[in-house]
A and B are shown apart, each in its own frame.
Chain A
Amino acid sequence: MMRLSWFNIVSLTLGFAFLYLPILILVIFSFNESKLVTVWAGFSTRWYGELLQNEAFLNAAWVTLKVAVFSSTLATVLGTMAAYVIVRAGRFPGRTLFSGMIYAPLVMPEVITGLSLLLLFIGIGLDRGVLTIVLAHTTFSMCYVSVVVSSRLVTFDRSLEEAALDLGCSPFEAFRLVTLPIIAPAVIAGWLLAFTLSLDDLVIASFTAGPSSTTLPIKIFSAVRLGVSPEINALSSILIAIVTVGVITASLVTKRNALRQKHEEQAAARAQ
């Protein structure tokens, strides 16, 4: 084991403290007995219980989940298609413009994206609700999906697709039977990214949400403006737990697969 120098220990501590101290405090105070957020009055899970009784929060959570699932699925389909065209179609008129425009939402200020979508929905007379949030989230998260998927497609051995064509597949069959199963991890990663982006989003959702379709971030934000309640702390802790479990599972699965693959390759090399 390598020993860390005092400098390394200090920078490590500072770095982690900077990143995680606020979150840690939030989690600790979510178990606070007192109604006052800043005063510790003993351990209790009372606010978690009350959270389950709070219909407004539960509704908002349900809306958020629906929006996240639909928008990330839609964004994955569209983003994968866009990535495929950009990486595979070679040069076609307007390719540079197309790829530039796909990546533009990455750097576009969210306020502007939200405002322009709001104007569009009003313009075409679409009532604001779950549908409009789904459309809005799809718009901005599909570019993230296409970045993730196209980075995988760039390293994809094209001869695999050619082999599929050579063996009698139509171009669509080649995509469905060969390309898609192989790039699936990137597609799933793109979906997860889009899902979390949609889960997190406050700005765009507040432009495109209607009165009946408040998402959780909007709910939390408006509740906090009236004062931080311990319930919010509890809710945030649950969200943190979900995200943490997701990230750890994903990385464990990837690591295990990589290890297994390495073992099998070594076994094959030895058996040669």
Chain B
Amino acid sequence: MPEKIFAPWNDPDQKPLIRFQNVTKKFGDFIAIDDLSLEIYEREFFALLGPSGCGKTTMMRMLAGFETPTSGSIELAGKNIVPVPANKRAVNMMFQSYALFPHLTVWDNIAFGLKRSKMPKDQIAARVDEMLKLTRLGKFARRKPHQISGGQRQRVALARSLAKAPKLLLLDEPLGALDAKLRQDTQFELMDIQETTGTTFVIVTHDQEEAMTVASRVAVMDEGKLIQVATPDRIYESPESVYVADFIGDVNIIEGRASKQGEDLYRVDWAEGQAPLVATSDREFSEGQTCHLAIRPEKIAISAEKPAEADNAVQGSILDIAYLGNLSTYHVELPGGMIIKAQTANTRRLSRRSFTWEDTVWLSWTATGAVLLAE
């Protein structure tokens, strides 16, 4: 029997924990959220991803209760929470600035929410100790926030927001203030904690790598609308629009005209005097419709001779090489002036690199390697 994969969004019997229904939020004339509907399931690690000003923070603040939607409803476990004030919601938030209370110790910061909830003193102490253990902060319990490092502060903020065992934890750019290395470690720590506690996490971030790493599903937003909601691999491998393809990772976009070649197979005429490209697509395109071919740089192979069996092959000369240590990105200029990025893993030492500037090379990729998009 195959192990059950965590994918409640594909199960029609599952009831969502959070349901946004036709939510619109206006600030004066500015529409921050535009008639948006979204469902998030229990135990999900859900990422809201988008450029700044796309409305992702507004979504989170509406969940926390700091903003009220102009219209529409937000349900938490089947109940409309729009009229419920922030302090009465079973939702906790970890703030971007951490918002630790500077006048209280780490211990008192974590106990703050519990003390508000009429919990007996000994239970509070037990819960705080549990949280300190979970976030490995035991040694710092008596310190004030300014006496600990940035990474420790981040963990205090997390412990404080988890202490009340909320149904839903909101994380607003939780790792924004950490340096790259600490960030990666913390991402895995967050995932561990999310699995251990079984809490539903909603994270807001503008860092696509972070969203891809931690999330079970990612919602790409722009101008108050959801552009695509899917698992990280689907967002990356089968984006539904040029916007998503371009926002997540590096991509080459070739504009052309589609014509049907066979079952799911299209020919793309993209430049005068160049051989047409072929790509598979389960989306329908009409004869001669404008389309965009999106190809990830790592799906493009680079070779000195024209590969015999390739579905697509174009010739060009190397304009630039970006050496990233583990990878090298080649910028190859095609005869028409278009620049295509191709990426190869540096499996050999740099001194034995086969290509250099000005070399004429062939770029090739398979028909399934590219995604054909209408817009």
Contact in complex: B151, A167 (CB < 8 Å): no
The reply on A36 being an interface residue by CB < 8 A is no
Contact in complex: A162, B117 (CB < 8 Å): no
Secondary structure type dominating chain A contacts: helix
Interface stretch of the complex, out of A14-22, A122-130, A259-267: A259-267
How many angstroms between the C-alpha atoms of A109 and B98 in the bound complex? Answer: 46
Contact in complex: A268, B147 (CB < 8 Å): yes
Contact in complex: A166, B149 (CB < 8 Å): no
Interface stretch of the complex, out of B47-55, B85-93, B243-251, B331-339: B85-93
Contact in complex: B116, A168 (CB < 8 Å): yes
Q: Which residue in A159, A165, A267, A271 is a CB contact (below 8 Å) of B87?
A: A165
| Per-residue contact bits, chain A 157-179, to B (CB 8 Å; 1 contact, 0 not) | 10110111111111101000110
Shortest distance between the CB of A264 and any CB in chain B (Å)? 5
Contact in complex: B146, A160 (CB < 8 Å): no
Q: A166-B93, A271-B149 are in contact. Are A160 and B116 (CB under 8 A)?
A: no
The reply on A272 being an interface residue by CB < 8 A is yes
Contact in complex: B101, A160 (CB < 8 Å): yes
Contact in complex: B99, A160 (CB < 8 Å): yes
The reply on A182 being an interface residue by CB < 8 A is yes
The reply on B285 being an interface residue by CB < 8 A is no
* List of B residues within 8 angstroms of A177 by Cβ: 112
* List of A residues within 8 angstroms of B116 by Cβ: 167-169, 173
Shortest distance between the CB of B76 and any CB in chain A (Å)? 14
The reply on B213 being an interface residue by CB < 8 A is no
Contact in complex: B113, A167 (CB < 8 Å): yes
Q: Which residue in A159, A165, A167, A178 is a CB contact (below 8 Å) of B164?
A: A167
* List of B residues within 8 angstroms of A181 by Cβ: 103
The reply on B102 being an interface residue by CB < 8 A is yes
The reply on A269 being an interface residue by CB < 8 A is yes
Contact in complex: B86, A162 (CB < 8 Å): yes
Q: A165-B87, A166-B86, A167-B160 are in contact. Are A159 and B146 (CB under 8 A)?
A: no
The range of chain B's interface size is 20 to 34
Which residues of A, 206-263, contact B by the 8 Å Cβ criterion? Answer: 261
Contact in complex: A168, B148 (CB < 8 Å): no
The reply on B357 being an interface residue by CB < 8 A is no
The reply on B175 being an interface residue by CB < 8 A is no
- In this complex, what residue of A is CB-closest to B139? A271
* List of B residues within 8 angstroms of A168 by Cβ: 87-88, 113, 116-117, 164
The reply on B236 being an interface residue by CB < 8 A is no
How many angstroms between the C-alpha atoms of A271 and B66 in the bound complex? Answer: 36
Shortest distance between the CB of B214 and any CB in chain A (Å)? 21
How many angstroms between the C-alpha atoms of A264 and B85 in the bound complex? Answer: 38
How many angstroms between the C-alpha atoms of A180 and B160 in the bound complex? Answer: 21
- In this complex, what residue of B is CB-closest to A157? B97
- In this complex, what residue of B is CB-closest to A263? B147
* List of A residues within 8 angstroms of B270 by Cβ: none
* List of A residues within 8 angstroms of B164 by Cβ: 167-168
How many angstroms between the C-alpha atoms of A261 and B150 in the bound complex? Answer: 15
- In this complex, what residue of A is CB-closest to B64? A166
Contact in complex: A265, B146 (CB < 8 Å): yes
* List of A residues within 8 angstroms of B95 by Cβ: 159, 162-163
Contact in complex: B87, A170 (CB < 8 Å): yes
Which residues of B, 159-175, contact A by the 8 Å Cβ criterion? Answer: 160-161, 164
Q: A168-B113, A178-B101, A182-B103 are in contact. Are A268 and B86 (CB under 8 A)?
A: no
Shortest distance between the CB of B293 and any CB in chain A (Å)? 44
| Per-residue contact bits, chain A 126-169, to B (CB 8 Å; 1 contact, 0 not) | 00000000000000000000000000000001011011111111
How many angstroms between the C-alpha atoms of A164 and B99 in the bound complex? Answer: 9
- In this complex, what residue of B is CB-closest to A167? B113
* List of B residues within 8 angstroms of A157 by Cβ: 97, 99
| Per-residue contact bits, chain B 51-69, to A (CB 8 Å; 1 contact, 0 not) | 0000000000000111000
Q: Which of B88, B92, B99 has the most CB of A within 10 A?
A: B99
Contact in complex: A267, B147 (CB < 8 Å): yes
Contact in complex: A164, B146 (CB < 8 Å): no
- In this complex, what residue of B is CB-closest to A180? B103
| Per-residue contact bits, chain B 136-157, to A (CB 8 Å; 1 contact, 0 not) | 0000000110111111100000
Shortest distance between the CB of B244 and any CB in chain A (Å)? 30
* List of B residues within 8 angstroms of A166 by Cβ: 64-65, 86-87, 91-93, 113, 161
- In this complex, what residue of A is CB-closest to B153? A268
Contact in complex: B146, A163 (CB < 8 Å): no
* List of A residues within 8 angstroms of B146 by Cβ: 261, 264-265, 268
* List of A residues within 8 angstroms of B96 by Cβ: 159
Shortest distance between the CB of B168 and any CB in chain A (Å)? 12
How many angstroms between the C-alpha atoms of A177 and B148 in the bound complex? Answer: 22
How many angstroms between the C-alpha atoms of A267 and B151 in the bound complex? Answer: 14
Which residues of B, 110-128, contact A by the 8 Å Cβ criterion? Answer: 112-113, 116-117
Shortest distance between the CB of B146 and any CB in chain A (Å)? 5
Q: Which of A168, A171, A182, A272 has the most CB of B within 10 A?
A: A168
Shortest distance between the CB of B292 and any CB in chain A (Å)? 41
Query: With A157-B97, A182-B101, A264-B144 given, can you name 18 additional A-B contacts, CB distance below 8 Å?
Result: A159-B95, A160-B101, A162-B93, A162-B99, A163-B99, A163-B160, A164-B112, A165-B66, A165-B85, A166-B93, A167-B112, A167-B160, A168-B88, A173-B116, A182-B103, A264-B146, A268-B146, A268-B152
| Contact sample, A vs B, 13 pairs, CB 8 Å cutoff | A159-B97, A159-B99, A162-B66, A162-B86, A163-B99, A167-B92, A167-B116, A173-B116, A177-B112, A182-B101, A182-B102, A264-B144, A264-B146
A-B pairs with lowest CB-CB distance, top 6: A167-B113, A168-B116, A272-B149, A163-B99, A159-B99, A165-B86
